[in-house]
């Protein structure tokens, strides 16, 4: 137990480990809400017989792609759902009954609240024996119930086996449930160091399973433990060096907060009331807080809409002074999931159509323009093309923001530098 405590403490302090690069990532919790809403779209399309027979271009692809964007931890999460024509798996595209069973499983997981209900949903799905549909679906469950269902992939399994001496295998739900039980025990045994969000202990297993750390020797003393501690120290030094190199490379890059600050100041200069994302308002910016001078609460006409919780997380929103009608909304996609930002903008635009938003903008580095355009081409977003979402490059905003603040009026100046999508 002592060596495992040592590993966990090292992992928590490692700037290159999943704890700091993913679990504490400021965008991680934002994505839970977007992925939940995406799963609800999949359920609705299956229920209404609109899901179709293809993975590519489907609402499921959109959701799984968003999960796969969750940094290294979930890279490759879409492999299990890709249609494999020679094997005819996973059999949820060609078999309507299996598709409906999968939809019912997702719906149950999204709506239920207890551990027993989730376990029963797994048993019901497993009993159908749907070819090719295994516990990779647990990654969807994790984003619905992070304290009850851990993620599941090869590296997590390998790490768990190395740490515990277990022989968990991929591909079967009973193997996943065995791993889940073990991770719950580990979390409880080390509750002072591990969050009850099972992404934490899964991230630790991932780093061991992917070879970042060696599993601690099961003996509590002796030369094996000394060698293992030396390996940990070396990983820490290598991680510090890699982080320093990354910081040097990004020294000229603009931070997410800085771009939010530009948009805040520009909106105030143009005469708008400004909203800053609820989880960003207290961030330090130019000697104060990012939320200084901005609205403390959403206008009543927005706060009462179904998508208000998502709207509160939009990076920057400009409201007309006086009427507080939404004029423009900006999602800053510095390195984060573009899909999630689009969903939040749509929650604002579609949640209160009687208060139509004049401008919806995806603000991103120039290097991400192709990514932005690819996301908007997804079939899931074709039905909202009339909202005329636009791309605003960092370079154009940086170059023209001061002139727009001095001489601009309304949204015309912003429209002039934004690019149609």
Average pLDDT by stretches of 10, the chain with 421 residues:
85 92 86 90 93 90 87 85 90 93 94 91 90 92 96 94 87 90 92 96 96 81 61 63 54 72 96 93 89 94 86 94 93 83 89 76 92 86 80 93 90 92 81
Among 91, 122, 144, the domain boundary falls at 144
> Does 5 map to a domain?
no
- Its domain, for residue 278, covers 256-420
What is the pLDDT, as a whole number, of residue 392?
Answer: 95
> Does 10 map to a domain?
no
State the DSSP H helix or E strand holding residue 139, giving kind and residue range, or none if neither.
Answer: helix 138-144
Q: Which of 398, 405, 366, 417 is nearest to 259 (CA)?
A: 398
Q: pTM of this prediction?
A: 0.61
What is the pLDDT, as a whole number, of residue 252?
Answer: 38
State the DSSP H helix or E strand holding residue 351, giving kind and residue range, or none if neither.
Answer: helix 338-351
Whole-angstrom Cα distance, residue 380 to residue 189? Answer: 43
> Does 90 map to a domain?
yes
What is the pLDDT, as a whole number, of residue 222?
Answer: 57
> Does 88 map to a domain?
yes
Let me know: does 325 contact 355? Beta carbons within 8 Å: yes
Q: Are strands 359-364 and 326-332 parallel, antiparallel or unpaired?
A: parallel
What is the pLDDT, as a whole number, of residue 394?
Answer: 93
Peptide bond into 90 cis (omega under 30): yes
Structural domains counted in the chain: 2
Among 96, 118, 144, the domain boundary falls at 144
> Does 330 map to a domain?
yes
In the three-class reduction of DSSP (H, G, I as helix; E, B as strand; rest coil), residue 357 is classed as coil
> Does 215 map to a domain?
no
128-151 as b/e, with b when 16 or more CB fall inside 10 Å?
bebebbbbbbbbbbbbbbbebbbb
**One domain for residues 279 and 402:** yes
Quote the tokens at residue 370.
């192709």
> Does 176 map to a domain?
no
**One domain for residues 132 and 268:** no
What are residue 391's DSSP bridge partners?
362, 419
Whole-angstrom Cα distance, residue 340 to residue 342? Answer: 5
> Does 122 map to a domain?
yes
Among 113, 144, 175, the domain boundary falls at 144
């Amino acid at each position: 137990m002592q060596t495992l405590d040592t590993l966990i403490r090292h992992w928590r302090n490692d700037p290159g480990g999943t704890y700091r690069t993913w679990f504490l990532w400021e965008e991680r919790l934002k994505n839970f809400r977007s992925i939940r809403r995406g799963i609800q779209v999949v359920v609705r399309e299956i229920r209404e017989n609109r899901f179709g027979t293809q993975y590519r271009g489907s609402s499921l692809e959109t959701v799984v792609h968003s999960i796969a964007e969750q940094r290294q931890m979930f890279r490759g999460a879409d492999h299990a759902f890709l249609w494999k024509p020679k094997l005819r798996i996973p059999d949820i595209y060609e078999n309507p009954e299996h598709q409906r069973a999968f939809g019912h499983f997702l719906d149950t997981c999204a709506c239920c609240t207890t551990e027993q209900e989730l376990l029963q949903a797994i048993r019901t799905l497993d009993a159908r024996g749907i070819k090719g549909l295994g516990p990779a679906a647990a990654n969807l469950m994790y984003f619905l119930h992070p304290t009850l269902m851990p993620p599941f992939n090869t590296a997590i399994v390998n790490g768990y086996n190395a740490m515990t001496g277990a022989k968990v295998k991929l591909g079967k739900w009973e193997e996943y449930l065995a791993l889940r039980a073990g991770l719950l025990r580990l979390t409880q045994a080390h509750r002072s160091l591990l969050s009850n969000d099972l992404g934490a202990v899964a991230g630790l297993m991932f780093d061991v399973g992917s070879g970042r750390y060696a599993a601690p020797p099961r003996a509590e003393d002796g030369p094996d433990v000394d060698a293992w501690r030396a390996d940990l120290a070396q990983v820490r030094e290598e991680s510090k060096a890699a982080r320093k190199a990354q910081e040097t490379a990004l020294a000229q890059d603009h931070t997410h907060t800085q771009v939010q600050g530009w948009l805040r100041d520009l909106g105030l200069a143009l005469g708008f009331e400004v909203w800053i994302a609820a989880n960003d308002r207290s961030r330090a910016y130019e000697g104060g807080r990012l939320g200084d001078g901005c609205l403390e609460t959403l206008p009543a006409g927005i706060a009462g809409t179904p998508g208000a919780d998502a709207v509160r997380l939009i990076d920057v929103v400009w409201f007309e002074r006086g009427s507080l009608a939404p004029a423009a909304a900006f999602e800053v996609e510095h390195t984060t999931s573009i899909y999630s930002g689009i969903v939040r903008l749509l929650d604002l635009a579609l949640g209160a159509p009687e208060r139509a938003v004049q401008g919806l903008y995806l603000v991103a580095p120039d290097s991400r323009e192709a990514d932005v355009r690819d996301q908007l081409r997804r079939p899931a977003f074709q039905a909202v093309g009339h909202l005329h979402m636009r791309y605003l490059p960092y370079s154009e905003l940086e170059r023209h923001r001061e002139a727009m603040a001095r001489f601009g009026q309304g949204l015309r100046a912003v429209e002039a530098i934004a690019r149609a999508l």
